[in-house]
Structure formats: structure tokens, C-alpha cells
Structure 1
């Protein structure tokens, strides 16, 4: 029996199996291995290469049976974690992989929590040199966080991880060596490089979790927003692509990270040994390259992330300050990335960063590289609250550089289209004399220039026809001016908020009754339930606020919520100022629900559904085409999100370039044309001889030779062979010909 026990201690897999079946009986054997592990661990700290194989076997054995002896192995996870974090560079690749797999095994057995595992794995990502091991670590991190948030949101885990990622990105902001030119790269210390790697991986993981839908609140957006201000260009570029919607793969482990040379892949395949596995790998890389190219063409801005930016004005000002201060250090492509994001933030949030328009003026030349993208960024940054004085010099520069007889027609069309897009958002930025000159280009012989000038003319016929000449205003605009209608000045809006649509009509009664029923319960519980799934969670409670003040309906008379003494006068003059052309309102006074309750996003969603339901009932009751059109509009509005609304404000390069002559077709268009040409064809090839013969077949080489040019025949091998034939060969051919003729006669 003693000999058997000794053999068990030498055979760890067998001992492991026996311990899992009966932990109590084999506790002494386990303690013996545990003591042996502690002694080997001390030696391993001094010399990791000594007893490495045996140490890995002991670690795997203890991890497998750790659940059987929880009190004895309580310090085991901390031992493995400290070895990985403190001596990671000294370990061999096999030892690193084994210890990481041990930590993952302990997490799967619930010996350690997700936070403990992730705190160990996060610092290892930038320190790992093996691409396969780094990919495995990243996959483990993402899958663990995703699993923890599968059923319900694990707020405790998310807060801890997000705080960790935020610190990884924020630590690199201390260094101000922006850009990748000059002496900045040489001055980058090892410590700053490590911080940059940490920040890069923090941004990559945040983007992946956002893309998979695990995180969708304001905190991951804040992490990537800090990355946009990072001094390391790689980190900043990855963060910018998150908001711009580019699906680039930042991880250098991916095969499609760099641009794939398709010709080089095919050439390598031809000269290397032909194997099935090689064919599969080649096809995989070609598919990845094709998918990446398609994703670049169809990249859409991340509208939801743009809307969740915290303090977008400060973010835009900091981003512009970096762009302006380190302009000479950035490459043109990187500066265009910053311009694109800055313009979209300004346009979507209607911000005022006036220095942006002064900065972009120097790039508004027709010979500038990637000028269509720059013009798109300029147009997207303009909104109805942008001061016209800041845009007037920009429009003058566009007209001076792009619209004159010394440039090509494509340049003129692009310039007029850019001016039109700017003026569509802020019509008061245009000067009357310049508008008259630009409109005259509608008489051009070029189609693109004519279309651009007519678009500008039609725009000002709608927004401010008084700036046009009388013969250019059109019938409707002239009638409007004759009736006395004038365009609204800068900063004014035509649609004043009187009430929330739907609350003062019968479809809002169910919402009001629902609100009355909720008032009977506690106010705090109602607010939490109404904002559940809509609000943005916070790490800590606000210390500066004492909470909401509960206001009863009886106290409404004692509260004065007016901001001006002239408010009552404005209310009295509302009905008097409304002319015959004003659309009749359902109620000039706001509904009781809008003035007594703060409506939550859930209330607005319910209100939209009730409006669609009421419109559906009206259609079923025989409301006619008008009711059907209203139902279709409400359904489209319900399906559309904030992203679609922002999508209407953003433009593409095609809007700037306009219709072009013989535009080069892309891959999808060429394939579509090829497929159309193949319609109705049974086989791709010549059909000569297939219709005239009884048995369809292609023509022979002898038949094809009859139609060859004489010069091709003279230089062929058969003709040259006849000239060089000997007398004996000629006699044999003649004898064979006579024999064939005799057989043919018979």
C-alpha cells in the first residue's frame, strides 16, 4: 500500500482523478504535492528556467483540484497572478501560456472572480510578444465580460473594468509629444511608449465591447473620447475611427491589419508548393482583404456615440487646440481624420468653435490633396447657429479658388456644390453680389456646373429670394415677396414649442391616466422605473445635489416658473399675432400633463406608439388616403432613430463632386454589369457551330485555321516544316494521300 501511495505522488493525472472522486481520503497526498509546489515556487522565483516543466505540471494539477481544498489553496491564485505580473518577461513562452491558462481555469471553476482575472490579464496585453497568445488573452477578456453581462448588466464588474480602462488611457495624457514627425518620436521614452501601448489596448477593447453591444452607455464613449486627445498618434487614430465609423482592425495580430497586396499573394502561391491548406489560407486572406475594402467604402459615422459625448463643447475645443498647435507634426491623413470628427461634433451638437473656420481656409485650394473630404468636413461643421460673419470669408475663398474660368469644370462644380451645402445650413453667410455671379453659371455648357448653379439658385428661391434678381426669383418666390413674407433673421426659428404633440388630443389620454396611476406610488420608484433602460448610470452619487424636490399638485399655484415679465404679454398676443397663413393649433395652451410631470424617454416612446395605434384605427375606419399617408409618416418616424436624423445632416463626397462624366465604376458596379451580360447564356464561350450542327459542338482547330490571316499561316510550324521536308518524307505523304483517296472512292 505504501508503494502504491509513492507511485501516486509521481503520477499526477492519476492522483488528480482520485482526488476528484474522494477528496478526503487523498488529502495527505495533496498536501505533499502542495508543499512540493511551494518549494519549487521559491526556486522558480530565483531561476525561472530551472524545473520549469515540473512547475507547470504542479500548477496545472493544483488548479484542477483547487475546488476540492479551498482553504488550503486560498493563496494559490495570488501566487500565479504575482508571478505573471512581476516576472512576465523572464518566463518562457510555454510557461506564460500555461500560467495564463491556469488563471482562466480558476475563473471557469469560480475559484476567482472576473475582476481578479481581468486585473491579471489587462496588464499582460501590451507586454505579450506572441501574436497567438495575445489574441487568446484578448478573446478571453472579451468573452468573460460578455458572459458576465449576458442576462443582466453586471454594473459592478462594468464599473471596475471601465475605471481600469479609463486610467490606462488617462495616464498617457501627461506626455505632450504629439505627432509622428520631427523630434517627438525620438523623445518618446520607454515609459511613455508603455503608456501608449496600454492606452491602445484600452481603446481596442472598449471598441470591441461597444461593437458587440455589451457596453452602450456614456462611459465607454468617455474612454474613447479621452483617447482622441492622446499624444500617441496610433491611439488617437484608433479613437477617431470609433466615432467616424471606420471598421479598421487596430490589432496588429489580425491578418488584415495592413493593406493586402493581392498580386503578391497570387505570385507567392504560384512559386510555393501547391497544397490544399495553402489554397485555403490564400482564399481566407483574399476574403478578409475584400471584406476590409468593402467596409471602408460603406463606413457610417457612429451617431449614437456622438450623441453620448460628455461636454461636447469642451471636447471640440480641446481637439481643435491639438490640431492647431501641432499642425506641422501630423500627417495630412491624420489631420483630415481630426477635421472629420471635429466637423461632425460641431454639426451634430450645434457648437461654436470659430477658430475651426479660420484654420480650414488654408486647405481650400483646388490642387490640395483630398480636397473633397476637406470640403465635406467644412460643410458638416456649419449649422443654423454658426455666425455668418465667420463663414463669409470661407465662402469668398471657395469662390476665389474654385469658381473661375482658369480651372476645370469639375473643380467649378465642386466649388459651387460646397458653397451650396454651406449656405443650405446658414443662408445669411452669402453676399448678394457673389450670389448673382454664381447663379450665372447655370448657363454653362457643362452638365455638372449647370446642375450645381441651378441647385444654388433653387436654394435661395426657398430660403431668401430677396437676394436674387427679379427675373431669377421664380413665380412662387415672387408671390411670397409680394405678400410681405420675409425670411427669419439669424438666430430665429419659425416653429416655437407650444405643446408636446399628442398630449392635447385623445391619443394622449391613456398616457395621462397612466401618469395619474403612477402618482399614487412612491415618487422615487416611479422615476427609477420610468428611466430604466434609458438613463446613463453613474459611478458615484452626486454630492452637490440634495436630490429631487417633490412638488405636489396643490403647490403648483405657489410656484412662479416664468423667466420674464413679458411672458404673460406674449401669451396674450399669441392668438392676435397668428395670421391666416398660420397652421391651426389643436390647443394654444400646453396640456396639463406637460406642465405637471417630467416626461421620461419611456413616456415619449409610449406616446409615439399610441399615435401610431390611433392612426391605424383611423385607417381601418375608412379615413382615406390622408389617413394612410399620416400612418406611413408616423411609422417611418417611429422606426427612425436619432442616428437617422443625424445622417440627414451629414453629407458625402458625392454631394460635393456632383454628377461626373464617365465616373470610374467600382467593383460592385463592374460585377453587376458582368452579371447582366451573362443573362440568357448557357455557357460562357463561343456559340459558333452549336446552332447549325445536329450534335452541338465547338469548331475544330482545322476549321479555325481556314480563317487565319495568310501571314500567320506562313510563319506557322507546319508550313515551315513542309519547306524543310526531305524527298523521302514528301514521297511518304504523297503515298498516304493516294491511299486515303482510294479508300474514299470505295
Structure 2
């Protein structure tokens, strides 16, 4: 009897014994199980009474559920019900213990993923503890990742996606409250539980997408619905998902990383090392503070580097939109409806998303150009982002009539002598990007005025104006004056008919540029790669028991004679590119093959890898031509091909603010940078003095003062006393100077 009392009072020891022999200690476990049911009923009435003992009992039973599955069949449901109904009144340690117990039950396959996630998802918006919220978030993500590790668990994904969709949809009937002139936080009246549910649904969907756990259209549908949520924070987070940026993830409150930072880092922006350094100079100087500052600056710089190297636009998500036209029209409708309630920053990100949807899906929402005209002024805040969004929305199907007022407004506001060179460069770059997509939006008179800026004194303005001139030499030289077209553009304009109007295309596609190079390259690989040819021959006559005189064998196979002219190949040139340098076409082959038309497209499906290989072959051929003849036109074509290669690799036509701002002048270096440059220039240099006279003379010696005076520029000595004295000299002084000169000449002879 004393031994039984000892076991029941020492739960860890009893737990160890039960795991070793469950049958022998079943009575002791049932005793604890009955005690748990009694404590649970008391705990429902008063959660603060015997809370520690209740936590120990639940942890004890969680460890032994697998030993007694029939007796503890209702235990997981009891924990879930307790969390769902009494979560707000439970003590913090009890909350964490119950969540951990549920996660442990899922790890031992006692409950399913659906049961666990249906309990944890509603807890996220209600949790105020940062550590517990982080644990729930990581538990959800790890469980979803494990469920979709080997193959997509479509049943679970559908259940969870429906749950997240419902979390977003429940708050769609809220009253819209904008963010203009206000700083909203998670405690604001507008950020009600329904708004928090939608926010967490957006955050979890975004993380599951980024971890490649979800990549289907249903996830995109959840984020697309959240773009029209009445809570601005939810809108911002979902819009940033399509924009491909990480902003808006901390909208649910303080981030988990922020809680571990020093106090001054929490006050300031985490993305501004300069402000952190300034704050550090104000505060008390300590070694620990310096180390914390260095770690924080390294962390911020690392995040910036990862953000710059990552993909800027989430193009896969944009392509998976169900109804892009309706989506774009609703975005434009929100811009006009809530014009006075939204801040400028929020309106700009809506413009960016709308422009990228229009550009990627070739949409025509003509009201957007009328709306954006009101913001086109050089003193407008964040004008580079607005201009980038404007240029991004244009494509070849955009009507030129809708773009002419926009281009005219940009020219009037940005391109005139009354503004700085940076403003002119931004305006010219914007017009160039618009005309690159729709050349017919420009008229001849305005184009002539813009091209004339290539004679400016500012180098950046000259380079930008020349870029616009070169663009129209390629796309529509007929709009340029004859003396501005250039040799190549003038010859092409005289040979071919003038450019067709918008929407017209009378010339049928008869060939693909560079396809002949690809055909020669593939033929070279087939002739050189003997092993591949032997493998193909090994498949001939692979059936041994067939009758050679019969066209079919006993198993029903029919021998069909292959016709080389009707052979249809489907291949990927990634493996063909592995052939190395010999596979590239030579320049002489390119010259001979440029006069014929290839029929490869009729016998082979060209993949994106084939087009990338065609571009590489064209670069190789142009490089070989440059080695033979150093021509400016060939160099320009090579630069265009290399730029096209970068464009293919990026697989996006994204315009950033840097494309609008153009090249900038070098920023003046600070004192530390100037000192570093001076020290670098002093390397491998002897101190004090010059070695000019010692190295260049036959007899090493320094230069004399007379030599230095003789070699001085006249502008430096014209105001000296000696020169001015000669001008004021009298006739007698001039005669004496001449006599002394003659005497010196006689003595020297």
C-alpha cells in the first residue's frame, strides 16, 4: 500500500513504469485518469484553482495515450474544446501546455492534421504572447510541410484552404476605414477579430507559398480576395504578396525578431542603419551596445542583400489569377472610391499591382491613365514609383490615344529648362519605356523636341536622349527626321514599307531570327555525338521473334516506316547545350546560313531552352564577327543580344525605380572614404619628392629652378614682377640688357 501511494504521488516515476509495462500498471493509470476528470470539471468552474496540478495531469496523460487508446479516446477532443471555449480565461502557462500537448499528440499520430489545424488556426488571432504565437505558427507550417513532403495532400490542402478562405471572407462586410493621416495598430477599433483572422490567413498563406508547400490557384484566390478586404493592413499584406516584397508581414503586431532587439532598435526603423548609428552616438557608450549595434547592422544589410537578389515580382501568382480583368477593374474601382481615405503610399502599391496585372495579362483599363495623370508632377512624393507603375501598365495592345495625353503631361512637367537634370532624365526614361511598349503613342513634333536634348551639357541627359533616339531608330525610324535616322535605319526605311498603324500586321511570320543557327548546331551535335547515334541504332529491330517478311508480329505490333520529313521532335536544348564550345555555330556558317530559311520549326517544338540557346548562338556569332572586323553596328547588336539574354534569364519585364531615375552622379564621399582613397594612392610610393628628373636624365639629378621657370605656362608668369618689369623698362635699360646678351653670346662661342 505505501508503494502504491508513492507511485501515484510521483507522476514521472509512474509514467516511466507504465511505458515499460502498461498492463501491470493499468489500475494506477485509471486512478490518475479518474482524478484528471474530477480536476477538469473543477477547472471548468474555476481555472485558477489547482492549475499546476491540472497541467501536470494533462502532460502525464499525453505521454501515455498510446498505451491506453480506448480509455483515452476522448482526451484530444477535451483538450481542443477547453482551448476553443475557455482560451481567454486560461492562465498563460496552461495555454502553452495544452497547445504543446496537442502538438505532441499529432506527432504520435493520435490525432489527424485536420483536427490539430482546426484547433490552432482560430487561436492565432487570439494569442497575445509572442513566444506562444511563434510556436503555433511554426507548428502549423511544419505540419503542413510534413503532410506535403512526399506528395501533395490535396484533401488536407482543400480543408485548410477553405478554412483560410472563410477567415478572410468573414470580415468582408466591415466598414472601410482608410489609413490617411492615421497610424493604425493591432489595438485599433477597426482591427477587430475578423480583421485579425484575415490578417493571419494572409500571413500563413504567404509563408506556405514561399516555402513551396502551396503553389496552386486556390492559394492565389485567397490572396486575391484579401486585396479587397476593408481592413487596410490586410490589403497591404496581400498586395505585397503579389508584388513579391516582404513588407507587410509584421502587420499582426510586433515581429518575433523585434522582441529580442535592444530598446533603441525597437524605437527606430529596423531597415535604417544610419539612424541606428545616430541613435548609438546619442546614447551612453558601452562595449555591449557597440556589439549589439554591429550585429543589427549586419542583419539589416543581409536582409537588403537577400531582398535585392530575390525575385522582385511574384509572376507565378499573377499568372494564376482566375479572372485578371475583373481583378484589375476592382483594384481601379477601389482607387477611385477610397481616394480620400487612403494614404499616398497605399495608393501607390495599388497602382503597382494594377500596372503589373495589366502588363502581364495585356489588359486595357483605360481609366487608369486618366487617374494617374493627376499625380504626374516633378514635385510629387514618390514620383519614381508612380512613373514606374505607369510604364509597367503599357503593352502593345494599349490604345495610343489613351497614352498621348500622358506622354504630353510628362513632357510638360519633367522636360523643360526650368527643372534639374535628374528630373529631365526621369521624364525621358519614362517616355522611352512607354514608347518601347507602344511606339505609336508618340507624335513626330514632340519626338523631335525630346531627341534634341542629346545636345545638352549634362552627360546623363545626353545618354538618356540618345537612348530614346536609338529606340525609334529600331522600332519606327519614319517618325525621325532624315538626318536623325542614322545609316542603318535610313537604309532599312527605304527598302521596306513604312511601319503599319496600330493593330495592323500585313507581314506574315515566315522565319524565326537565329533558327538557322540552331538547325546547324543540332546537325553538328548529331554528326559529332557518335554515342548517341549508336544508342538510337540499338533500338532498331529490337523485337527478335518477329517475322522479317511480315509487317506485324504475333504480339500485335505493327512496323511503321518512319518518314524523316514527317518526324516531329519534342526536345529541350538544356541537354544539347552540354556539348560545350564546339557546338556553337561559327561565324562563317552564320554568314552562309543567313540567306536561307530554316524548316526546323515545322518538325520540332521550340521550348524556352531552345530560344535561350538561339540567343547564345547569336551572341557567339556576333562575337566572332567582331574579332574579324571591329564595327560599331555589330557591337551594338552584341550589346542588345546580351541584354536580351539577361531579359530571358529574368523572365520578367519589370520596371523599377532605378530604370526611371537612370544613371546618377557619384555621391560625394565622406571624410573616411576620402582618407581611404588617399591612403590607397600612397601605396608603393616613396615618401617626399619626385623622381621625374632622376629617372629621365642621363646623369641622375633634380631639375633646377631655371628649368622649372622655363617650363612654366605663360599664364602663370604673365603677372609676375619680371614680366611686368620688362614692359615698363626704359630705352636705356633695354639697350643695356641687349648688350649683356651679346657679350654672353660671344663668350659662349
Q: Which runs of 5+ in 1 are unaligned?
A: 518-552, 554-580, 595-602, 689-746
Residue 288 of structure 1 is aligned with which of 284, 296, 299?
Answer: 299
Whether the 8 Å CA contact 1:439–1:454 is kept in 2: the answer is yes
Distance 1:26 1:85, change over 3 A: same
Alpha-carbon distance between aligned partners in 1 of 2:655 and 2:50, rounded to the nearest angstrom: 64
Distance 1:589 1:127, change over 3 A: closer
Deviation at residue 376 of structure 1 after TM alignment = 1.0
TM normalised by structure 2 equals 0.70
Whether the 8 Å CA contact 1:259–1:289 is kept in 2: the answer is no
Whether the 8 Å CA contact 1:206–1:220 is kept in 2: the answer is yes
Whether the 8 Å CA contact 2:190–2:231 is kept in 1: the answer is no
Distance 1:639 1:208, change over 3 A: farther
Q: 1:268-317, CA deviations, whole angstroms, 9 ceiling, x for partnerless residues?
A: 87367x66xx7765544333333344456556222222222222222111
Q: For 2:339, what is the secondary structure of its paired residue?
A: coil
Pairs within 5 Å for 1:314-329: 314-329=326-341
Alpha-carbon distance between aligned partners in 1 of 2:103 and 2:668, rounded to the nearest angstrom: 52
Residue 266 of structure 1 pairs with residue 280 of structure 2: yes
Whether the 8 Å CA contact 1:303–1:643 is kept in 2: the answer is no
Whether the 8 Å CA contact 2:233–2:248 is kept in 1: the answer is no
Deviation at residue 235 of structure 1 after TM alignment = 1.3
Distance 1:677 1:281, change over 3 A: same
**Structure 2 counterpart of 1:369:** 381
Equivalent residue pairs, number: 589
Residue 353 of structure 2 is aligned with which of 314, 336, 341?
Answer: 341
Whether the 8 Å CA contact 2:236–2:248 is kept in 1: the answer is no
Alpha-carbon distance between aligned partners in 2 of 1:644 and 1:673, rounded to the nearest angstrom: 39
Residue 659 of structure 1 pairs with residue 670 of structure 2: no
Whether the 8 Å CA contact 2:181–2:343 is kept in 1: the answer is no
Deviation at residue 158 of structure 1 after TM alignment = 2.1
Deviation at residue 167 of structure 1 after TM alignment = 1.8
Deviation at residue 171 of structure 1 after TM alignment = 2.1
TM normalised by structure 1 equals 0.70
Whether the 8 Å CA contact 1:608–1:638 is kept in 2: the answer is no
Alpha-carbon distance between aligned partners in 1 of 2:423 and 2:81, rounded to the nearest angstrom: 63
Deviation at residue 660 of structure 1 after TM alignment = 2.9
Distance 1:266 1:192, change over 3 A: closer
Alpha-carbon distance between aligned partners in 2 of 1:465 and 1:253, rounded to the nearest angstrom: 55
**Structure 1 counterpart of 2:223:** 224
Whether the 8 Å CA contact 2:177–2:190 is kept in 1: the answer is no
Q: 1:539-596, CA deviations, whole angstroms, 9 ceiling, x for partnerless residues?
A: xxxxxxxxxxxxxx9xxxxxxxxxxxxxxxxxxxxxxxxxxx99754349955x88xx
Q: For 1:137, what is the secondary structure of its paired residue?
A: helix
Residue 445 of structure 1 pairs with residue 457 of structure 2: yes
Whether the 8 Å CA contact 1:85–1:120 is kept in 2: the answer is yes
**Structure 2 counterpart of 1:18:** 17
Whether the 8 Å CA contact 1:265–1:282 is kept in 2: the answer is no
Deviation at residue 319 of structure 1 after TM alignment = 1.2
**Structure 2 counterpart of 1:235:** 234
Distance 1:117 1:28, change over 3 A: same
RMSD of aligned residue pairs (Cα, Å): 4.3
Whether the 8 Å CA contact 2:511–2:598 is kept in 1: the answer is no
Alpha-carbon distance between aligned partners in 2 of 1:427 and 1:284, rounded to the nearest angstrom: 50
**Structure 1 counterpart of 2:497:** 485
Q: For 1:386, what is the secondary structure of its paired residue?
A: coil
Alpha-carbon distance between aligned partners in 2 of 1:336 and 1:498, rounded to the nearest angstrom: 43
Alpha-carbon distance between aligned partners in 1 of 2:648 and 2:82, rounded to the nearest angstrom: 49
Alpha-carbon distance between aligned partners in 1 of 2:666 and 2:28, rounded to the nearest angstrom: 82
Pairs within 5 Å for 1:21-420: 21-181=20-180, 193-248=192-247, 250-251=249-250, 252-256=254-258, 259-260=269-270, 261-263=275-277, 266=280, 270=284, 282-295=293-306, 300-420=312-432
Q: 1:669-704, CA deviations, whole angstroms, 9 ceiling, x for partnerless residues?
A: x9899599669979xxx999xxxxxxxxxxxxxxxx
Distance 1:176 1:387, change over 3 A: farther
Alpha-carbon distance between aligned partners in 2 of 1:656 and 1:589, rounded to the nearest angstrom: 38
Whether the 8 Å CA contact 1:248–1:292 is kept in 2: the answer is no
Residue 476 of structure 1 is aligned with which of 464, 470, 488?
Answer: 488
